[in-house]
Amino acid sequence: MARRTMVEAIRDALDVAMERDARVVVFGEDVGYFGGVFRCTDGLQRKYGTSRCFDTPISESGIIGVAVGMGAYGLRPVAEIQFADYMYPAYDQIVSEAARLRYRSAGEFTAPLVVRMPCGGGIFGGQTHSQSPEALFTHVCGLKTVIPSNPHDAKGLLIAAIEDDDPVIFLEPKRIYNGPFNGHHDQPVVPWSRHPLGEVPDGHYTVPLGEAVIRREGDAVTVLAYGTMVHVAEAAAEESGVDAEILDLRTLVPLDVETIGRSVRKTGRCVILHEATRTSGFGAELSAQVQERCFHHLEAPILRVTGWDTPYPHAQEWDYFPGPARVGRALRAVLES
Amino acid sequence: MTKPTPLSLHVPEPPVRPGDKPDFSRMTIPQAGRTRRPPLDTPAHDIHDLAYSVIRVLNRQGEAVGPWDPGLDAQALLHGLRAMMRTRAYDARMLMAQRQGKTSFYMQCSGEEAIACGFQMALGRGDMNFPTYRQQGLLIAQDWPLTDMMCQVLSNAQDRLRGRQLPVLYSAREAGFFSISGNLATQYIQAVGWAMASAISGDTRVAAAWIGEGSTAESDFHAALVFASVYRPPVILNVVNNQWAISAYQGIAGGENVTFAARAHGYGIPSLRADGNDYLAVRAVAAWAVERARRNLGPTLIEWVTYRAGPHSSSDDPSRYRPKEESDAWPLGDPVMRLKNHLIVLGAWSEERHRQLTAEIEEEVLTAMREAERHGTLHEGPKPGPAEMFEGVYKEMPRHLREQRTELGV
C-alpha cells in the first residue's frame, strides 16, 4: 500500500497492465519519451520500449483509428487523447467504428481498447481545456463510460477497463489529478496523501465496471455525482448540514441502477450533479431513470446542479463551475419542496 | 495600383455530361510494357515518375509485355479469369435479387473485378484486407462460398451477421476480410493500425487498405498516410480510382490536375499507378507491394486506374450525370475481355470454352442462390429473430439491454 496521486495511480495501473499482458500498448501525443503532459505515462517507454509505449502524430482520428485496427489484430491498445476537448476529430472512429465493431461483425472482430482523456474544469482551462463530454459517449451504444473520483478507484477502474473486452472511454478529471477538490477554489489545495482514497494498493487489483459506491451515507436526500463533483457534494453536505447520501457512480454506462434505486427509495429525494452543460447532459438520463424507477417514493422533484448551457468560460470560471454553495442551495431546496 | 478583378470560384466539371460524346482525351496512357519495374527497396523519391505513369502489361494485341509481366502460367491466368467472371455473375444475380425485392440494396463492382481478384492472389493466409463495399472480388477470388455472401445480402436465417448489417457490408475474418463499415475511409487508418500491431508483435503478416478515389478526401486518408509514413508498418494503401464517387467525377475529389498516387509523395511513401483493368498488371504490382511490406521495407500506395462501369448502387441512375456510352469508351477496356483475349492469344483458351465457362458459372451462381434462398430472403421465409438485435452490442449483455429485450417481449 502506498500513498499515490491520481496521476501516479493511473501510471501504476498502466504499468501493472503492461507488465501482465504483452498485448497492452500505450500511445498518444507526448506520451512516449516525455511521459505525457500530465505525467500519466512517465517512465513507461523506458521500461517497456518504444514499440509498447510511443508518441503519435497530432491526429486524434488517427490515434483512435490505429487503436481500432490494433484491437482487431489482437492487441489491447490504451490510447490517450490529450484533452477530452480534443476528442471530436476522433468521434467518427469512436462512434462508428470502435463502438459498433463487435455488433456489426457479429463478434468476428472486437475493439478491446481504452481511450483515456483528461476532462473537466476548475483549472482556468477556458473553452477547450475544461469540457465534460461524457454525454456524447453515454449516448453511444457499444461504449462503456467510466470516470473515477480518486486514486484508488482510478487504478482499479483503469485496470478493469484495460482487461474489459469492450471499448471503454476513461475520463480523468484533471482538477483532481493531484488532490481532491471540493470547489473551494479560495482554499489551499489538499494533496491526495492526506485523503484515505489516496491509499493505493500495490500490484494488481480491479474496481469492477458498472458498480456505484456510497461515499457518504445519509437519509435526507440522494446525491448522484461522479468525478470532481463527488468532492463538491461532500463539502456541500457538510456545510449545509443536510444529511445527504452521496453516490459516486464511477461507471455511467452500464449504470448501477440498483444502488441508485435503493438509495432514492430510502431518501425519497434526489439531486444530480455534473460539471457538464445541462441540456441533454447525463443528468437528464439519471433523472429519467430515477423518475421511472422510484416515482412512488419521490417526495420532491428531482433537481439538477450542472454547468450552464454555455461554452466553458475563462474569467467566469467560478460562476460556471457548480461549487458547494450552489449544490448546498439545491440540497436545501429539495428538502423544502 | 489597379483594382483587382472580382474573384471567381473554380468548381471542377467533368468534360462531358449526359447527351455528350464520351471524352477521355485528357488521360495519358502509356503503352503496355514501357513502365520500369524498380527494385523492392527503392526509396520513394527515386520512383516519383511512377506515380504519374500507368503500369500496364497487356498490350492491344493481348500479349504480355515488359518488365512487369508476372509470368503467370495458364492455370493461374484461368483462375483469374474465372474469379472475375464469377464476381460479375454474382453481381448480376444479386442486383436481380434486389430488383425482385429479395433484398433492399446492392452494389456491383462491374469493370473493377481485376483489382480485387488479382490483388487477393498476392496475399497469404493470415494477411488482412480492410475493404470498402466494392471489393467483393477479394472473397470470390479465394473461393469463399457464394451462398455465405448471398445470405448476408438477403439478411436471412443463415446470415453470419445476424441481419444487423446492410447488404454487401460483409465480414469474414477467416478470409482476411475485415468487417465493412458504412462510414467511408475509416478502415484505411485501421489497416495501418493492424499493420502496426503486426510489426509490434514481430509477426510477418501484412495488411491491405482499400479506398475509392472519392473517399481520399476524407481526413482518415490523410491520417493513414501520416501514420504509415511515420511508423512504416507493413501495409499496402490501395486507392481504387474508378473516376466516379456516386455522381461526382474524380476532379471533385482533387484529381483534376494530379494523380492520387502522387499524394503519397508528400508523405515519403513509395507509390505506383497501375492499369486496374489489366489482370496481369494487378498481379505484378500487388505482388511487388506485398513483398515490400513483408520484408519490412514499409508501406506502398497504389492507385488503380479503372472505371466504375455500373451504377454506384442499386439506388443510383448514372444516366443522370454521365453519358450512357462512357463505359464503352473507357480506354482501358474491360478486364474480363482483356484477360480472355490474352488467354486466346496464348492458345490456352477459346470462344467455345469461354461460353462453356460462362454457362458453368451461371449454373453455379444459380445453385448458390437457390441454396441461399432456402434460408429466407429479407421479407420472406426464416430470418434472424428480434432477440438477436440485442446480442453483441457488448460481450456480455448489460442490464439495460436485458430490460429492453424484455420490453420487446423476446
The rounded distance, in Å, linking the Cα atoms of B89 and B211 is 23
pLDDT tens per residue, range A162-215: 999 999 999 999 999 999 999 999 999 899 999 999 999 999 999 999 999 999
Give catalytic status of residue A129 as yes or no: yes
CATH pick for B44-245+260-314+326-379 out of 3.40.50.720, 3.10.20.740, 3.40.50.970, 3.50.50.60: 3.40.50.970
- Nearest neighbour of B200 by CB, restricted to A51, A144, A210: A51
- Nearest neighbour of A106 by CB, restricted to B160, B207, B230: B160
Alpha carbon B361 to chain centroid, angstroms: 21
Cβ pair B244, B308 in contact under 8 A: yes
**CA A112 to each of CA A40, A53, A101, A143: distance values in angstroms, whole numbers, following the listed order:** 21, 17, 10, 10
- For residues B148-152, give the mean pLDDT: 98
pLDDT tens per residue, range A233-289: 999 999 999 999 999 999 999 999 999 999 999 999 999 999 999 999 999 999 999
The rounded distance, in Å, linking the Cα atoms of A231 and A246 is 10
pLDDT tens per residue, range B394-408: 999 999 999 999 999
Cite the beta strand spans of A42-167 per DSSP E: 53-55, 76-80, 114-119, 144-146
Average pLDDT, chain A: 98
- pLDDT at residue B408 in the model: 98
Listing DSSP states for A243-273 in one string gives -EEEEE--EEETT-HHHHHHHHHHHS-EEEE
Residue where the block lists cell 471530436 = A88
Percentage of chain A lying above the pLDDT 90 cut: 99
* Residue B356 clears pLDDT 80, i.e. is over it: yes
Query: What is the pTM for the complete model shown?
Result: 0.98
Output the nine-digit C-alpha cell for A185: 477554489
Phi-psi label, residue A100: left if phi above 0, alpha if psi -120 to 50, beta otherwise: alpha
- Interchain CB distance below 8 Å, B226 and A165: no
- Interchain CB distance below 8 Å, B394 and A166: yes
* Residue B5 clears pLDDT 80, i.e. is over it: yes
Confidence class for position B238, pLDDT limits 50, 70, 90? very high
* Residue B1 clears pLDDT 80, i.e. is over it: no
Q: Name the B residues in 303-362 with CB < 8 Å from any A CB.
A: none
Percentage of chain B lying above the pLDDT 90 cut: 99
Number of CB atoms found within 10 A of residue B165's CB: 23
Q: Name the B residues in 134-193 with CB < 8 Å from any A CB.
A: 160-162, 164-165, 169, 171-173, 178-179, 181-183, 186, 188-193
| Residue A169, beta-bridge partner list | A115, A145
- Nearest neighbour of B173 by CB, restricted to A75, A108, A210: A108
Length in residues, chain B: 410
Cβ pair A287, A223 in contact under 8 A: no
Alpha carbon B241 to chain centroid, angstroms: 9
B158, B170, B177, B200: best mutation site toward chain A, by most A Cβ within 10 Å?
B200
pLDDT tens per residue, range A47-72: 999 999 999 999 999 999 999 999 99
The greatest distance separating any two alpha carbons of chain B, rounded to the nearest whole angstrom, comes to 79
Task: List the one residue out of B292, B342, B341, B306 whose CA is nearest residue B122.
Answer: B292
A55, A103, A163: best mutation site toward chain B, by most B Cβ within 10 Å?
A103
Alpha carbon B394 to chain centroid, angstroms: 31
pLDDT tens per residue, range B157-186: 999 999 999 999 999 999 999 999 999 999
Output the nine-digit C-alpha cell for A97: 467504428
Q: Where are the domains of chain B?
A: 44-245+260-314+326-379
State which H helix or E strand residue B26 sits in: none
Preceding amide of A254 cis, omega within 30: yes
| Residue B304, beta-bridge partner list | B240, B274
In one-letter notation, the amino acid at residue A103 is Y
SS3 A19: helix
* End-to-end Cα spacing for chain B: 78
DSSP state of A300: S
Shortest alpha-carbon distance between residue A46 and chain B (Å): 16
Q: Name the B residues in 193-222 with CB < 8 Å from any A CB.
A: 193-201, 207, 219-220, 222
pLDDT tens per residue, range B279-329: 999 999 999 999 999 999 999 999 999 999 999 999 999 999 999 999 999
| Cβ-based interface (< 8 Å): residues of A facing B | 25, 51-52, 56-57, 59, 61-62, 65-70, 72-75, 77, 89, 92-93, 96-97, 100-110, 141-142, 144, 165-166, 210, 253-255, 257
- Interchain CB distance below 8 Å, A106 and B227: no
- For residues B357-376, give the mean pLDDT: 98
In one-letter notation, the amino acid at residue B82 is R
Strands across the sheet with A251-253, in order? A53-55, A24-28, A76-80, A114-119, A168-173, A144-146, A251-253
Angle (CA) B298 B304 B305, round 5°: 150
The rounded distance, in Å, linking the Cα atoms of B33 and B280 is 11
Phi-psi label, residue A284: left if phi above 0, alpha if psi -120 to 50, beta otherwise: alpha
Output the nine-digit C-alpha cell for A313: 468560460
- Interchain CB distance below 8 Å, A142 and B394: yes
- Interchain CB distance below 8 Å, A69 and B194: yes
* B223 interface with A at CB cutoff 8 Å: yes
* Residue A337 clears pLDDT 90, i.e. is over it: no
* Residue A1 clears pLDDT 90, i.e. is over it: no
- Interchain CB distance below 8 Å, A96 and B178: no
Shortest alpha-carbon distance between residue B165 and chain A (Å): 6
- Interchain CB distance below 8 Å, A65 and B395: no
Task: Select which of A129, A152, A231, A274 is catalytic.
Answer: A129
Output the nine-digit C-alpha cell for A108: 468476428
Which residues of B fall within a CB distance of 8 Å from A102?
A: 392-395
pLDDT tens per residue, range A307-331: 999 999 999 999 999 999 999 999 9
Output the nine-digit C-alpha cell for A113: 481498447
Interface confidence, given as ipTM, is: 0.97
* End-to-end Cα spacing for chain A: 46
Confidence class for position B2, pLDDT limits 50, 70, 90? confident
